[in-house]
Structure 1
Amino acid sequence: MQKTIKTAIHLGGVGLHSGEAARLSIHPAGIHHGIWFRRSDVDGNNMIPARHDAVELSPLCTLLVNEAGVSVSTVEHLMAALCGCGITNAIVDVDGPEVPILDGSAAKFVRAILDAGIRRQAAPVHAIEVLRRIAVRHGDAYAELTPAGELEIDFDIAFPDAAIGHQHKTLRLSNGTFARELADSRTFCRQSDVDAMRAAGKALGGSLDNAVVVDGDRVVNPGGLRHSDEAVRHKMLDALGDLALAGAPILGRYSGIRAGHAMTNRLLHALFADPLGYRIRTLSAAEARVLPGAGIEHDRFAHF
């Protein structure tokens, strides 16, 4: 069944890239509504669809823009949380151009969704079933979708900093796996990247409270890592959030090698450009049990 939240959610923090205060609220929505962002500080055309075809490619985050040029950025962690909790219909009000970064992961979004409660709706879920391999490559980055009975994510990263190095992980995203394995993994960057971004006037809201910073073989954050492979887990979190912009759950295996937001978006464009590459399936209640969020339970994630 399609799902929305039972009661409104209110969260606030700072924008990672702008450094400005940022507040959002998430509201229930009716069946077949999908996920939409609404810029509450903008009059007129302020609705922005959470869809891959509304993405304006940006190297540091996922940026959505509507036909009037109204935008909202850094949506990927929230989109991952909504998808990972099985939310198919919601309106997200944002009071500025950026979603608050919170702690740099999706954990606080997941906690808020579970605290608000999840309401089943009287309509089936429509899923996007991948029928054949779809692949994109750009430089040394690669991403592909291949057929699978449920959403799987396989990710491989390699960084010169020994604190990250080479990491590889594969997960099936059913039965609450996202909340259990990925949601608390934070965004990360190298100290040299921090210095360069700050010099360019970017990442003004970044701090050790909302990002993991590594410098060679050292993790700069006093508390260290939440997982020894937190970096690749976060890349998988990002991938789920960007895949959620397909507009419906995906049944398929996503594989990424050094892939980022832009690569996942290019992959979705390639998928929908191939009419033989996918089909839309209306899922029965039994079939929907493999979707992300189907096995999520409030009490199991009380540590968030």
Structure 2
Amino acid sequence: MYQTTIKKAVELVGIGLHKGTPVRLRLEPLESNSGIVFYRSDVDVAIALTPENVVDTKMATVIGKDGIVISTIEHMLSAVYAYGLDNLKVIVDADEIPVMDGSSASFCMLLDEAGIKELDKPKRIMRIKKEIIVQEGEKYVKLSPSPDLKYDFTIKFAHPVINKQEYVLEFTKESYKNEIARARTFGFLHEVQYLRSKGLALGGTLENAIVLDDKKILNPEGLRFPDEFVRHKILDAIGDMSLIGMNFIGNYEAMAGSHDLNHKLTVELLKNPENYEIIELVGEKTAELEKAYA
């Protein structure tokens, strides 16, 4: 199994969640061993996708370099990771990735348009060898050894529409597209009002997020899945975990996980080489992975 990139450059224009202004996103192919590289075309700054370059995790995953940032990268990265892409240049002309409809469905469509191209070097993958957990009170995120890739997420909100939800994704590219990609981000009306008072979430609408008041959902079309909230948390987690730099094999488990806990988990994982092994997928070892990303 070989490393991949996209067959051709593709682009779209969407609204940035926080500033509410149009953002042009362009994806371009890269050669083997290039990794995922972000580039701000408006200020001519490249930012490598590494945990060291994460500068904020309060409301989204934000990477930065020398004071230049790119925010809300996780929805797009979730799709990139699910498609098994190893090498990609991500170009934006502003400080955030467009929010689109609040899910990763638009990014999946963009990658389908671009197509996937095999390169000349073997694909590298990380196998989790030891259990790693990051915990804060009742909240935790955990990686553990497993022969396959699974995401098991539980959330609890004191809201009548959400309450407690759990979802387990047995990962393949198809299961991701069918079960996770369309799940939208969500927020509460009082939070949106507060953020707007601070000059944030100016692009947030019922077109790109599920919004709830104290008792109900305000979106007239309702939910795409009865448990759309926890499915979106898995979408976020997949995007956040892509910062380890490659696809991995193991189980991810979370109770009320967050961007911040996911970032701390990637840092903890990479801190000790005994936590993992990196293998090149050649010969028979690739069979299961090829099924996952077919």
TM-score band w.r.t. shorter chain = over 0.9
For residues 98-247 of structure 1, what are the structure 2 equivalents within 5 Å? Answer: 98-247=96-245
Aligned counterpart, 2:49: 50
Cα deviation per residue 1:96-138 (whole Å; 9 max; x = unaligned)? 1010000000000001101121111122111111111100112
- Answer whether contact 1:102 1:210 (CA < 8 A) is retained: yes
Q: Report SS of the residue matched to 2:121.
A: coil
C-alpha deviation, 1:9, in angstroms? 1.0
After superposition, the Cα gap between the structure-2 partners of 1:136 and 1:146, relative to the gap in structure 1 and judged at 3 Å, is same
Q: How many residues align?
A: 293
2:73 to 75, 81, 101: 75
- For structure 1, the residue ranges without an aligned partner over 5 or more in a row are 297-304
C-alpha deviation, 1:274, in angstroms? 2.1
After superposition, the Cα gap between the structure-2 partners of 1:107 and 1:285, relative to the gap in structure 1 and judged at 3 Å, is farther
**What is the TM-score when the length of structure 1 is the normalising length?**
0.92
- Answer whether contact 1:2 1:124 (CA < 8 A) is retained: yes
Cα deviation per residue 1:249-289 (whole Å; 9 max; x = unaligned)? 11111111111111001001111112221111111254345
Q: Distance in 2 between matches of 1:283 and 1:152?
A: 19
Q: Report SS of the residue matched to 1:121.
A: strand
- For structure 2, the residue ranges without an aligned partner over 5 or more in a row are none
**What is the TM-score when the length of structure 2 is the normalising length?**
0.95
Aligned counterpart, 1:299: none
Aligned counterpart, 1:37: 38
Q: Distance in 2 between matches of 1:140 and 1:193?
A: 23
C-alpha deviation, 1:200, in angstroms? 2.2
C-alpha deviation, 1:202, in angstroms? 1.6
C-alpha deviation, 1:31, in angstroms? 0.6
Q: Distance in 1 between matches of 2:270 and 2:31?
A: 25
After superposition, the Cα gap between the structure-2 partners of 1:242 and 1:292, relative to the gap in structure 1 and judged at 3 Å, is farther
Q: Distance in 2 between matches of 1:278 and 1:130?
A: 5
Q: Distance in 2 between matches of 1:139 and 1:18?
A: 33
The one-letter code sitting in structure 2 at the alignment partner of 1:271 is L
- Answer whether contact 2:82 2:173 (CA < 8 A) is retained: no
Q: Distance in 2 between matches of 1:52 and 1:288?
A: 27
For residues 4-19 of structure 1, what are the structure 2 equivalents within 5 Å? Answer: 4-19=5-20
- Answer whether contact 2:125 2:278 (CA < 8 A) is retained: yes
C-alpha deviation, 1:139, in angstroms? 3.3
Aligned counterpart, 2:62: 63
The one-letter code sitting in structure 1 at the alignment partner of 2:35 is G
> Could you list the runs of 4 or more consecutive aligned residues of structure 1 that deviate by over 6 angstroms after TM superposition?
none
Q: Report SS of the residue matched to 2:120.
A: coil
The one-letter code sitting in structure 1 at the alignment partner of 2:7 is K
1:284 has 2:286 as partner:
no
1:84 to 82, 85, 94: 82
Cα deviation per residue 1:153-180 (whole Å; 9 max; x = unaligned)? 1100011111111100111212522112
Q: Distance in 1 between matches of 2:279 and 2:235?
A: 24
Q: As a proportion of its length, which structure holds more strand?
A: 2
The one-letter code sitting in structure 1 at the alignment partner of 2:3 is Q
After superposition, the Cα gap between the structure-2 partners of 1:170 and 1:28, relative to the gap in structure 1 and judged at 3 Å, is same
Cα deviation per residue 1:42-92 (whole Å; 9 max; x = unaligned)? 13xx110112221113311110012x2321111001100101111111101
- Bigger shift: residues 14-23 or 75-84: 14-23
Aligned counterpart, 1:302: none
C-alpha deviation, 1:243, in angstroms? 0.4
Percent pairwise identity: 37
After superposition, the Cα gap between the structure-2 partners of 1:160 and 1:119, relative to the gap in structure 1 and judged at 3 Å, is same
Q: Distance in 1 between matches of 2:285 and 2:265?
A: 25
The one-letter code sitting in structure 1 at the alignment partner of 2:78 is A
Q: Distance in 1 between matches of 2:227 and 2:287?
A: 28
- Bigger shift: residues 212-221 or 30-39: 212-221
